[in-house]
Amino acid sequence: MLLFGTIFDDYLEGRRALTERIAKERISILFSLAEERASSEPGLAKSYIRILERIRRHYHVRLPKRMKARICHNCSMILVPGLNCKVTVASSSKIIIYRCMACGKEKHIVYK
Ligand SMILES: [Zn+2]
């Protein structure tokens, strides 16, 4: 019984790792698609980000920092500096501020 339990746990762990890997792969594909379409078709880019968020929530996957900084969580838009977001650096407090031009929401990222 104990042996079966361990094998079953390994099986579950393997499955979890596999689904997490697939979810991360899909997230990165959706992110790059949204990046490509941000200027030409912002509505489509927004829907890619919404799908990405749904996958992330469903599989409890954490977004990499580089992606997290580039998504406006207020309006689900991918933030492209110079196109739809303004980036300022507050060097005194060591914060990078991404301001979404669509909704005005600010995102503060701490750097070291
Ligand atoms: Zn926004």
pTM of the model: 0.82
Distance 4 CA to ligand 1 centre (A): 50
Quote the CA–CA distance of 36 and 12 in Å, as a whole number.
Answer: 36
* Distance between Cα 23 and ligand 1 center (Å): 24
What is the C-alpha separation between 60 and 52, in angstroms, rounded? 12
Q: How far apart are the first and last CA of the chain?
A: 51
Q: How far apart are CA 40 and CA 80, in angstroms?
A: 12
Q: Please report the domains of the chain, with CATH numbers, ordered by start residue.
A: 2-110 (1.20.5.420)
| C-alpha span between 36 and 6 (Å, rounded) | 45
In angstroms, what is the span from residue 70 Cα to ligand 1's centroid?
A: 10
pLDDT in tens, the chain (112 residues): 566 777 777 777 788 889 999 999 999 999 999 999 999 999 999 999 999 999 999 999 999 988 998 999 999 999 999 999 999 999 999 999 999 999 999 999 998 8
In the sheet that holds 106-110, the strands lie side by side as 85-90, 95-100, 106-110
**17-38 pLDDT, tens per residue?**
899 999 999 999 999 999 999 9
